[in-house]
Copies of this chain bind each other. A is one copy, B any other.
Amino acid sequence: MTQQSYAILGSGAVGGLYGAMLARAGHDVHFLLRSDYEHVRDHGWRIESHWGDFDLAQVNAHGSVDTMPACDVTLVGLKTVNNDSLPSLLSKPTGAGGVALVLQNGLGVEKDVAQMIGPERVFGGCCFLCSNKVGPGHIRHIDYGRIVFGPYQNSPATLAKAEQICAEMTAAGIEVQTSDDLNMVRWRKLMWNIPFNGLSVALDASTDKLIGNESSVDLIRDIITEVHRAAGACGASIDSTWIEKTIDHTRTMKPYDSSMRLDYLAGRPMELQRILKTPIDTASAAGVAMPKVQMLYQMLVFMEAVRRTGGA
């Protein structure tokens, strides 16, 4: 079977890392870049990874989708705050019938894409990794790295397509597995993302600080418990041992600034809608309140407004 071609929309800490690994394995990979387009075009990628460092000198770098070819698989790694631009970005790389694998954070992100290209061509996944873009064309991947993904709509054809992508990623050195329960995968990731992204901003603290204090761990546990309960009401049955596992995994994680904290510190918009508001609304529609998650959201909206306007 010939290797599939890949388009990478959003070549940051996630898309840059996985795309570079696929390119290293011989795939035809096309990266859409913004601020570091010229740097990557001229100098390629510098990947520092606990899976092994490497440089990739020759990169198909694009400053616009206009020059991108249609690809078999489009990885969507954009920040969800930019999803307004998705329709204009997706049409070229998916133009010949290719599929999209949405690796964005939060809930409801596949739905956005499914409305554009049809649900049977949409896959979604969560990335469990500590990775940041630390400079132009420079990714630093310090811990973890696993992708868990699956079809937005399960069918023999979509499940087979997922296995094909999974096999290619595995061959490229990526730790990856498929799932036929994308909803569960998303909610399980939210059990980490909501407390640790949110509190890292609200309490101005990296993960090691949050996990090193009894009071913040109590709060983290309360928030994870709310998310776990909401997940169950939303059809995502997750074993309750995952509440403590989520905390314990973070204890063994290297000190890390979450993506939301990096966005906040850098003055970029935070992914408040997809990581917090959509889960709150989805749980609420299923009859479950998440008061502490809601409070976290209310605080973060205030903090973003203060930063933007001085609080008015």
Contacts and interface: CB of A to CB of B under 8 A. Distances in A.
A266 interface: no
Contacts of A219: 295, 298-299, 302
Interface string A83-102: 00000000000000000000
B312 A212 contact: yes
Contact of A298 (B218, B291, B312): B218
Given A291-B292, A305-B215, A209 B311 contact: yes
A301 interface: yes
A309 to B, nearest CB: 9
Contacts of A212: 311-312
A202 interface: yes
Interface in A275-312: 291-292, 294-296, 298-299, 301-303, 305-306, 311-312
Contacts of A295: 219, 222, 291-292, 295-296
A258 to B, nearest CB: 16
A215 B298 contact: yes
Contact of A213 (B209, B296, B306): B306
Contacts of A202: 202, 299
Contacts of A299: 202-203, 215-216, 219
Contacts of A298: 215-216, 218-219, 222
A222 B306 CA distance: 20
Interface of A is mostly: helix
Contacts of A176: none
Interface in A208-224: 209, 212-213, 215-216, 218-219, 222
A305 B213 contact: yes
A213 B298 CA distance: 10
Contacts of A203: 299, 302-303, 306
Given A215-B302, A291-B295, 20 more contacts: A202-B202, A203-B299, A203-B303, A203-B306, A209-B306, A209-B311, A212-B311, A212-B312, A213-B302, A216-B298, A218-B298, A219-B298, A219-B299, A222-B295, A222-B298, A291-B291, A291-B292, A292-B295, A295-B295, A295-B296
Interface of A: 202-203, 205, 209, 212-213, 215-216, 218-219, 222, 291-292, 294-296, 298-299, 301-303, 305-306, 311-312
23 contacts: A203-B303, A205-B306, A209-B311, A212-B311, A212-B312, A213-B302, A213-B305, A213-B306, A213-B312, A215-B299, A215-B301, A215-B302, A215-B305, A216-B299, A218-B298, A219-B302, A222-B291, A222-B298, A291-B291, A291-B292, A291-B295, A292-B292, A295-B295
